[in-house]
Amino acid sequence: MSRILARDLEVALDGRTVLSGVGLAVGRGGWLAVIGANGAGKSTLLKALAGVLPCSGEVLVDDVPLRRLKPRERARLIAYAPQSPVLPADMTVFDYALLGRTPYIPHLGRESRADREATASVLERLGLEPFASRRLGRLSGGERQRVVLARALVQQAPVLLLDEPTTALDLGRQQQVLELVDRLRRADGLTVVTTLHDLGVAGQYADTMTLLSHGRVAASGAPADVLTEKLIDEHFGARVRIETGPGGRPGVHLERPHDIEPPASGP
Amino acid sequence: MTGPSRLDPGSLRPGLSPSGTRSGLSRRGPGPSRLRPGALALALGALLASMVAGLLAGAADIAPGGIALQLLDWLPLVSADSGLTPVERNLLLELRLPRVLLGALVGGLLAVAGAAYQGAFRNPLADPYLLGAAAGAGLTTTAAIVFLKGDGDALVIPVAAFTGAVGGVLLAYALGNVAGRGGGTATLVLAGVAVSSFLTAVQTFVQQIGVDELERIYAWILGDVGGGWERITLVVPYAAVSVGVLLLHGRLLDVLSVGDDEAAGLGLHAARVRLAVLLAASLATAAAVAVSGLIGFVGIVVPHVVRRLAGGSYRIVLPLSLLGGGAFLVLADVLARTVLAPAELPIGVVTAFVGAPFFVAVLRMTRQVGT
């Protein structure tokens, strides 16, 4: 059984079709990476899945069609972190993470002790406890990314949608965040859908991949089936060499179009 | 359907049991920002102190000790001989006390409405007059003064101002919804600017027709918190409803601060929350404008000072703005009454004259502390 299943998604923005006939299926504990060139519709797909963008078609979580649910009920099944989340500079880390409890708190009510404890436990788990009362405006890029992840986890939804979770992070921070997501999904059986612009990184973490091109699915399957030299040339216009690494995961190496001189060695 | 994934605090951090050794942290450790009793007491104290100052200050020289005893005497079950003459007692009861209370009420309403507007629009420069409340009230009040002369019935000007303020906001809202795709803040702000400019133009035209009444028009525009108990009874019902609704929305304004898309992802209908908040804040503004004219600066300065001193969560900013706005306006009125006594300065002049440097001082002070 698929934990999240989407069929025939279609999104039109300002009269222009941005997504058309897109479907996907990810099982419990699975990690799907959505890849594609700029403007292919990756972020739009995540917003449509999260229900923050009107779309036609169907999204089901554990066989429940999301269209039939109230927004609050939907938010308990799907947590979504956008590519450029708004982090109010004055807000504390704890208050921000606590926003994830919104679908559980009565509309005009206040959070319960259980909500506070769920928030504190996620902060502790992500090593953010020392930052709990710090204001968001005073965090580094890596800390901000972890705080956004914390808010999504506090939602306690079985499906996690992350739009480019590693944008603007250096290589080490990218690896830390993605390893963290990987451990979380293994520990909790979370189903993860991410957009990732770095194909090499996507190939190392995802179980399955969907390649979007001009709003349609151009290929989907195991990373080795999607990350091929031919598909990457066709849809990204990039020349790469694919080498299968440990675990059968494809490694993507950029190739310069012409023979070039080796880098000059030092004195 | 399986339940949501469990978050086990120990699963990633070996050595920490899920609920054992360090569970005390969740109870005594970090928590959400909340209104601390100390901050609340401080704000209440500031309001009370300003009100006492408001009762003591004035053109007539009444002994402060007598005023204190008289206040005690008015308390239920307390009896004290103040030694005030009947005229002094009357002056205190019919002029100073209602003036201080109205100042506190209007200042509180404008400040809490300003904070709510800033939250609903996610814009630190928003103020209660952003959506046309001031321009609408300005037009209808000017028209009432020029055409009805505002004589006879003391209710004419408050009713005209209230209607104009509500009408201006509704016009801006309708225009914003026609022009935008609904719920967007940018089109709404632009609609407010357009409506304000248009209504101000009409107001200027009406003012030119009734040039003889210019002094009365300006006296109203620059604000006044005198007028006695009648004005307080006019404003209290609207104040109670609007403040109640706004204080209930503090947490939701915090959710709105991450933007409409993310609020939607958290299951919140941002446009609906914004509508409820703007309606309540506009009602508060209209109530204030109806009894005091167009007093500027309170709605923008007070919430920012509160944010700097006590924290950014709207659960803190809204109640403390209510109290702080009251204290600020009562003190401004004390200055307005005493600086050029026995003449009075318009209170709107004082709020801007004192408010601007005070605002800059608070910004500088808190920057040095590093918050």
Measured distance CA(B159)–CA(B110) in Å, rounded: 18
How much is the mean pLDDT over chain B? 85
Q: Using the 8-state DSSP alphabet, how is residue A266 labeled? A: P
Q: What is the pLDDT of residue B17?
A: 36
Predicted confidence (pLDDT) at residue B16 exceeds the cutoff of 80: no
Quote the minimal CA–CA distance from A256 to chain B in Å.
40
Which regions of chain A are under pLDDT 50? none
Please give the interface size between A and B, counted as residue pairs whose CB atoms are below 8 Å apart: 147
How many alpha carbons lie under 13 Å from residue A69 in its C-beta half-sphere? 21
In the prediction, which pLDDT does B137 show?
92
Rounded to the nearest 5 degrees, what angle is found at the Cα of B189, between the Cα atoms of B186 and B190?
85
A194 Cβ partners below 8 Å, 6+ apart?
Answer: A31, A32, A33, A34, A161, A162, A163, A164, A165, A181, A202, A206
Rounded Cα–Cα distance for residues A185 and A198 (Å): 20
- Considering only residues A142 and B167, tell me which one the structure prediction assigns the higher pLDDT: B167
- Evaluated on CA atoms B155, B160, B165, B166, the torsion sign reads positive
Confidence of residue B64 (pLDDT cuts 50, 70, 90): confident
Q: Give the three-state DSSP class for A58.
A: strand
Does the structure show a pLDDT above 70 at B368?
no
What does the pLDDT read at residue B13?
A: 41
Mean pLDDT of B238-261: 95
Mean pLDDT of B87-108: 92
> For A11, phi and psi rounded to 5 degrees?
-130, 130
Integer Cα distance of B298 and A92 in angstroms? 26
CB of A137 within 8 Å of a chain B CB? The answer is: no
Burial of residue A17 (CB within 10 Å: 0-12, 13-18, 19+) is middle
pLDDT per residue as tens digits for the range A213-223? 999 999 999 99
Nearest to B23 by CA among A172, A252, A247, A129: A129
Q: How many angstroms away from the CA of B184 is the closest CA of chain A?
A: 14
CA of B323 to nearest chain A CA: how many angstroms apart? 21
> How confident is residue B12, by pLDDT bands cut at 50, 70 and 90?
very low
pLDDT in tens, B297-324: 899 999 999 988 888 899 999 999 999 9
> What band does B199 get if pLDDT is binned at 50, 70 and 90?
very high
- Out of B4, B32, B265, name the one closest to residue A95 (CB): B32
The Cα–Cα gap between B253 and B246 comes to 10
Q: Is A97 exposed, middle or buried (0-12, 13-18, 19+ CB in 10 A)?
A: buried
pLDDT band for position B20 (cuts 50, 70, 90): very low
- Strands (DSSP E) contained in A43-158 are 56-61, 64-65, 78-81
pLDDT of residue B1: 39
Q: Radius of gyration (Cα) for chain B, nearest Å?
A: 24
- Provide the pLDDT for residue B2: 41
Q: Which two tokens stand for residue A105?
A: 């708190």
Residue of A nearest to B19 (CA): A121
| Mean pLDDT of the B263-282 span | 93
Chain A: residue nearest B15 by CA? A125
Determine the pLDDT at residue A101: 97
Is residue B111 a contact partner of residue B328, using CB atoms and an 8 Å limit? yes
Q: What pLDDT does residue B9 have?
A: 39
Structural contact between residues B287 and B242, judged by C-beta atoms closer than 8 angstroms: yes
Closest CA to B362 of B303, B315, B295: B303
Closest partner residue to A103 (CB to CB) among B32, B259, B266 is B266
With residue A18 as reference, give the H or E element that holds it.
strand A16-27
Please check the confidence at residue B181 and state whether its pLDDT lies above 70: no
Q: Do B1 and A64 touch (CB under 8 A)?
A: yes
Chain A: nearest CA to B1, how far in angstroms? 6
Nearest to B327 by CA among B307, B353, B289, B355: B355
pLDDT value of position B340: 82
Provide the pLDDT for residue B262: 92
Of the candidates B39, B58, B46, the one whose C-alpha atom is nearest the C-alpha of residue B325 is B46
pTM score, whole prediction: 0.87
Q: Do A71 and B269 touch (CB under 8 A)?
A: yes
* Rg of chain A on CA atoms, in Å: 20
Contacts of A2 in chain B (CB under 8 A): none
If one compares B301 and B363, the residue with the highest pLDDT of the two is B301
Using CA atoms, how far apart are residues B11 and A132, in angstroms rounded to an integer?
Answer: 20
What is residue B31's predicted lDDT score, i.e. its pLDDT?
Answer: 85
Whether A75 contacts chain B with CB within 8 A: yes
Task: Give the whole-number percent of chain B exceeding pLDDT 90.
Answer: 46
Rounded to whole angstroms, the Cα distance separating A17 from A36 reads 17
DSSP states of A128-187 as a string? -GGGTTSBGGG--HHHHHHHHHHHHHHTT-SEEEEESTTTT--HHHHHHHHHHHHHHHHH
pLDDT of residue B151: 60
A141-155 pLDDT, tens digit each: 888 989 999 999 999
CB contact under 8 A, A98 and B32: yes
Residue that has been written with the tokens 């058309």 in this structure:
A20
| DSSP, res A17 | E
Contact A90 B307 (CB under 8 A): yes
Residue that wins the pLDDT comparison between B140 and B21: B140
* pLDDT at residue number A125: 87
Tokens of A253: 């190496």
Check whether B354 has a pLDDT greater than 90.
no
Residue type, B27: R
3-class secondary structure, B125: coil
Which tokens belong to B167? 């009408």
